[in-house]
Structure 1
Amino acid sequence: MRFSVLGPLRVETGGRTVPLGGPRQRAVLAALLTAPDEPVSRARIMDLVWDDPTPSAGVNLRGYVSKLRAALHDPADPEPRIVWDQGLRLRVAPGELDVWEFDLHAAAAQRARDEGRLADAAEAYRAALALVRAEPFQDVEGSSRFEEVRTPLRERRDLAFERYVAAGLDLGRHADLVGELRTWHARQPLWEHLAAQLMLALFRSGRRSEALAVFQETSETLMDELGTGPDRELRLMHRRILADDPGLQPAARARLAPVPRQLPAASAHFTGRATELDALDGLLADGGEAVAVLSGPGGIGKTALALHWAHRVAAKFPDGQIHLDLRGFDPAAAPMDPGEALHAVLDALGVPAGHLPEGADARSALLRSTLADKRVLMVLDNARDAAQVRPLLPGTAGVSSSSPAATASPRSPPPAPGRCAWPSSAPPTPSGSCAGDCATGGPPLSPRPSARSSPRAPDCRSRSPSPPRGPSTTRRFPLRPLRRSCGPRSGDSTRSPTRTGAPTCARCSPAPTATSLRPRRGCSGSSASTPDRHSRSPGPRPSPPPRPARPGSCSPS
């Protein structure tokens, strides 16, 4: 069922128009549609239907409601459309009312306009205005108080048309808008802002004399109807057209910068890393800015983890998400220079190329100013060292709300003694100590690396005490390979299941059980067992265990 109120009141279902009865009965339905799917009191309905209710108005209202229930009855729905719920409530589902659809299109247009997508905004406003057929509730003969319902609907319609025209003028569609503007101006000749938009569209279309004629006609109408002249906006437009002001041309208008959405697609089969994901979520809970460094050997999944988490929290950074490959370990290309990286980030944030200063330091300062009061997520992939990343970090807390996340591989040379291996929110302090937020702010997320792992940075906290942690934090998350079971894979029918009591891998089982042990040949109740073939021993490698004795040859006590 479809209810339409942006024009004559109409109800349609199954491709047919539902007869709604006489004027009073239609007014009762219109009163219920002023608060769709919400209870409306009897007193409110009578105020909107009758100017001076008679003593029989209450009885008539019950009769109108009964007839409307019958007219709106749906055989597939046993519950009536009009129910009593602390008042009379007309059940309206999402998508059944044109006003709701109008509001959805208008909201989508506003979002697109805020993000600089003017073409999408214009199309969404056009879709909203296509639902408007005439004046709201045009044929409803209610009381004089029903005008309180029509006025807000008119204002929403007029605002949508005004923004639709503004988007079209910004896109250079002035010639296409002239016809629509003339039609609306004829219906509302006292709307001065609309007259100014019509004059601008005519002037840009090369019809200067017609634009001046619109000003003259509007001025006379205002004087005749209201006894006053045009407002300041209309007079200013008239003077600028007379002076052939070049600023009225579309090329003189500033282009809105789009919001960057640069995150590559995340892996569809990501699994594990729950501890690391929880720790990354904790950085956002602290407030302020944060820098997370994911480190580990190549191919361990640093980029996959960073992108998975970035997509998960992207909604918390409405001002954009930036991804940049710093090429720190690319065998086919040199690492990205900090000046080049700053150029790419500033370009993504909408800074014109002509406004970029020379030198990495000046560009880094411009980046901090651009990120002020914004929430932006930056994923800096394949970072080589701290010097490559530090110019891209935001300013101090309270100036920026950005959250860079860098992925790095420990293939780069180890840092000099007493220096941090990874970027911090402040440069290392002199005399061989490190800033307070270098490396990890707490215990590591996974066990310490083994002797075969790549060397890691010296522990700065063991050299000098760290100052108190401020709102800006830098955390390093060393990744380790995920544990894998040595038993048969799930669902693999070609492998026989592990027998109860069979030895298991020492890396998959914390300790062997009694059933994992095999008796030695000729034993008599000894508890000694054959070493696991995966276990390591400082002594020489033991010889293979002898075959177990046949039944009866060993009699454990």
Structure 2
Amino acid sequence: MLEVRLLGPVELWAGQEQLPVGEPRQRAVLAALACEAGRVVTAETLIDRVWGETAPARARHALQSHLARVRGALRRGGGDPLIRRSGGYLLDLPADRVDLLRFRALADGADGDVDRLREAVRLWRGEPLAGLAGDWAASMRAVWDSERLLAVVAWAEVEDPAALIGPLGAIAREQPLVEPIAVALMRALHAIGRTADALGQYDALRRRLAEELGADPAPATQAAHATILTSNQDAAVGSREPVPAQLPADVTGFAGRVDALGYLDKVPSLAVIGGSAGVGKTALAVHWAHRAADRFPDGQLYVDLRGFGPGGTAMDPGVAVRGFLGALGVPARRIPAESDAQSALLRSRLAGKRLVLVLDNARDSDQVRPLLPGAGACVAVVTSRNQLTGLVAADGAQPLRLDVLSHGEAQELLGRRLGPDRIAADPVAGDTLIGLCARLPLALTLAAAHAVMQPEIGLAALADSLAGWSAPVGDTPDTDVRAVFSWSYEALTPAAARLFRQLGVHPGPDFSAAAAGALLGSADELAELVRSSLLTEHAPGRFLFHDLMRAYAEGLAADPGAADRLLDHYLGTAFAAAMLLTPTRAAPIRPIEPGGEPLADQAAAMRWFAAERAVLLALAARSGGDRPWQLAWTLDTFLYRQGPWHDLVTVWQAALGTVRDEQARAYAYARLARAWTLLDRAAEADRDYRLALELYDRAGDLDGQSGVHHEMAILCERQGRIPDALAHAERALEISDYGNANTLNTVGFYRAQLGDFAGALECCERALALYEQSGDADNRAAVWDSLGFIRHGLGEYDAAVDCYETALGLYREIGDLYWVADTLVHLGDTHRACGREALATAVWREALAIYEDLGHANAAEVRARLS
């Protein structure tokens, strides 16, 4: 289910997956629509909100482009709630799927309900519309911040004071001059016995008001201060027991992780932070514990359990328990000998207290359990490279999976480590460093350390020096990325370690369990790698390496046959999938052995290609001999139907780079030229078609020549040269019977465009009869589209509509997006000719949405029809 978040950075979510929205203006368009979800927003309003007084002359055109990309992002989440309405656009989402609107509903109807107010306040993730510039964004922040403060004050009046300290403290730091928040924080601190801190808050507020505004606190604030000052409670509730403060120093230059910090703020008792080596689990846990220290007046406990590290020897949990008991003031002689009794004593000492426990670098759930507090107000945060599903399942732990930093967070980290001036002096080099370090916090920290130690070296030179490394290397095992990875690798079972090495030959970006099986890996071994955070299951059944982890795996020795087994798996499955999509397609010039994953039907084939497209493209780029040609052949129909035509250019150029057989090269040139045609690159298309003709002529291949002339006809059509298009189509029919039905349909369509409807009808009906015999859905759709055009030309509009709708059904069945849009345009023309304007507008809008998603130039033609 789609969700838009505005109370922080603008984000789009589908369930637990964050979807990319794009650059700031696209996020601004989404925000401008989302804050009024369910209501029409005019184009003029959107332009004003996105650009304000700096709107360009072609702002309406730019807005359409941004709307198309927003629509694409929404569709990737499984919905299409962006609706064009008369006078503007409507984002058709329920109010509870936009955090701002949900906040307002909760706060407005709370009437003292603590649960509603608590939920409303927790929806805030930071500065609203963070990262968006302009007057509209600034004014909305001011308005929404005012609403937030009212809700926070109302919440503070009914919430347990202990639960208020952390959130109120954070807001007070953000808004240091807002007196109602300061008063609420003072009262909460006083209520839990921290009267001295409450009075300190007042003194700090008074000084800030005097220095910045030249004013005294308001009467209500002074009255609250007087009440606390004269209270009978002690100014500071003490204890004879020590208050442990074991946290390591807070992380220097900590950056980002706003959502993760907010998630930890909401954890009631136990959290498990998982993730790969170097991703910043410890840094997050320690930073959060420092930030939340106000919530835990009885102290902080910390231990490195050494679950992963040099030597592979994890800490015995009894050692950690005894260390905690000593920190809590239990003399060594009073600690029982039995491990169960030690854990029971720890739980007793923690009962009734508010402490935070950071259990760092845990190996497994059993190592952690003896250290956990019982019921109460303590919070334990565990970090581990393993997922510790036992704690989640049996102990109610809240899991938090940590990934690499976003690009913006990585920039922030470098800026804090190196200083903004050094980054500003060479931002391109900074971005290069981020790329080399793959946004991994540990690697970025190491790179920054190298830069700090060598201030005379520019960032560009540093980036050049790092470019040859798989990762920056530190001077101790703890700060050497490869050493840190090795600790996890060496803890694997032999079978899982072997699979890890084999996976180093996979080109990425991700892979399925079946691909791992081709490398002789079992489901158990794959699961072990995921548990160990050496792999991430980022989608059900899809796995990936972190980039630096991949580099580490590539450096390990896989057996010589691994790469061939992997390529055979993908190529065999791709061949089977391609034949499902076009069963009548001629077999490739170079035979391919079918195999790999079983696929049931066309829909399964399309899904498989969609999932493995990036992998197949990577294999085509890195393979040699005939393999790139074979991969391009298998991908051709899928890429042609779905619209990533630049990928068609890529794979066929890769094929031409390695294949030597002349007929195979001719075929590749013809397919490459067709891709250029789809991209409206006429000069390149004409060049490559002529190269294909030359090679086919040299080989005496008449079928090949006929096919090229047929494709050249389509190129001429797209240039508006219909007589030349007809000449090429008739030449194709004259040379060979190859593709006879397809060529007949093409000849018929061009004759219709030139006004010869009788001759056109004869050709297309002959073509349809041939296709009906063969069951070729792809080409039958094209004939029905031509027949629709002919019937329209003859004035038989109802028959034309029937033909177009038949074509649409067939094109949708095979998933050919471009031809769905093309046929919709023709259908709209027929509806308009009949006077059915509403129907014409509806189908043109659908066509426009498809063209915009494809980034196709035909979108402008459809916009003209709609204007």
* TM-score (structure 2 length as normaliser): 0.25
Structure with greater helix share of residues: 2
Task: State the structure with bigger RCO (CA 8 A, min sep 6), 1 or 2.
Answer: 1
Task: Give TM-score scaled by structure 1 length.
Answer: 0.39
